Amino acid sequence: MNTFTQLFSSWGPDIWSSDLLFILLAMVSVFIFAMGFLLILSGINVQLRRRIAAVTGDPMTVLPAFEHMSRLMRFLSVFLMPRRTAAKDHVRKQLLYAGFNSVNMVSIYFGAKLFLFLLFFFAAGVLLPILFVLSKLQILLLACLSGYIGALLLSIWLDWRVNVRQKKLRFALPDALDLLVVCVESGLGIAPAIQRVAEEIDISHPELAAELETVNAEMRAGLDRGMALASLGTRTGLAEIRGFTSLLAQTMQFGGSIGATLRVYSADFRDRRLQAAEEQAAKVSTKMIFPLVLCIFPSFFLVAIGPAVIALMDAFSK
C-alpha cells in the first residue's frame, strides 16, 4: 500500500494531467474502436448467414455479438434521441427508404451516431497530441469537431444509401412491369403474379424483388390488397411506385382490366424515363461550359499563343 502511495505521489499533478489522461484516452479509444470493429464484423456475418439461409432454407439465428451491439446502440440512443416526433418520423422514413424495416432501427441509428461521435472524439484526443503541438483547449475543440464529423458521416451515408436504393428501384421497375403484364395476361392472379415476378428478378434486381415479396407476404397474411400495395409506395418513397400502386388498387376496386392498366402504365413510365434521359442529355452542353473554360481553353491558348508571346518577350528584351 505504501508502495502505491509513493508511486502516485511521485507522479505529481503534471503527470496526472498529461500522461495518465493520455493513457485513459488511449484505452477508451481502443475500446470504442474494438466495439465498432466487432459491430461491422457481426453485421457482415449476419448478412452472410441470411444469404446462406436463403439458399439452403435453414433457419437463421442472429449472432450473439450482433445482438449485444444492437442493445448497446439502443442504450446509447437514450442520450441522443430527439424528443420531437417529427424528427423521429423523418429519420424513420429515411431508414425505411434505405431498406431498414426493423422496429428498433431508429434507436440503433441514434445510438450509432453517438457511438461514432465518441469514437472520433477520443481518437482525435489521442492522435492530435502525438501529431501536433497544441494546447489543451485546441485539442478539445478539434476533438469535438472530429466527433461532430463522425456523427455527420452516418447521416451522409444514410442519404447516399437512400439515393442508391431508389435509383436501383427506379431502374428495375420497367422490367418488373413487363413481367407483371405477361403474368397477368397469362391468367395468374395479382398475388401469384407478384410472387412470380419477385422470383424472376431476384438476381438482377434484388431490392425490388424483396419489396414485392413483402407485398405478397402481407397479402397472404390477410391484409387488404390495396393497403399492401400502398405500403409498397410508402416503403420505397418513389412517386413512380406510388402512382403504380394507386392505379393498380383503383383498377382492382372498380373491376377494370389489370393487364391493360399495367400495359398503359408501363408505356407511360417508359415515355417519362425517355423524357428524363432527353432532359439530362440537353443539360450536357450547359454542364460542359465549365470544363471547357477552366481546363481546355487555357491549354488551347497556351499552345496557340504561347510561342508568339515568348517570341515577343525575346524581341522586346533585346
Q: What is the pLDDT of residues 200-211, one digit of tens each?
A: 888 888 888 888
Q: Across residues 203-220, what is the average pLDDT?
A: 86
Residue 160: band (very low, low, confident or very high) from pLDDT cuts 50, 70, 90: very high
Greater confidence, 32 or 178?
178
Query: pTM of this prediction?
Result: 0.69
User: Any idea which residue has 393487364 for its cell?
Assistant: 259
* 31 — pLDDT class (breaks 50, 70, 90): low
pLDDT 10s digits, 222-262: 888 888 888 888 888 888 888 888 888 887 777 777 778 88
Residue 92 has pLDDT above 70, yes or no: yes
CATH 1.20.81 in the chain: give the residue spans. 168-282
163 pLDDT band (50/70/90 cuts)? very high
- What percent of the chain has pLDDT above 70? 75
The span from the CA of 297 to the CA of 314, in Å, is: 25
Residue 49 has pLDDT above 60, yes or no: no
The CATH number corresponding to 168-282 among 1.20.1740, 1.20.81, 1.10.287, 1.10.3470 equals 1.20.81
Please check whether residue 172 is in contact with residue 201, taking contact to mean a CB–CB distance below 8 angstroms.
Answer: yes
Greatest Cα-to-Cα distance within the chain, rounded to the nearest angstrom: 95
Give the residue with greater pLDDT, 295 vs 59: 295
Q: How far apart are CA 41 and CA 256, in angstroms?
A: 51
Phi-psi region of 249 (alpha: psi -120 to 50; beta: other; left: phi over 0): alpha
Are 175 and 201 a contacting pair, CB within 8 Å? yes
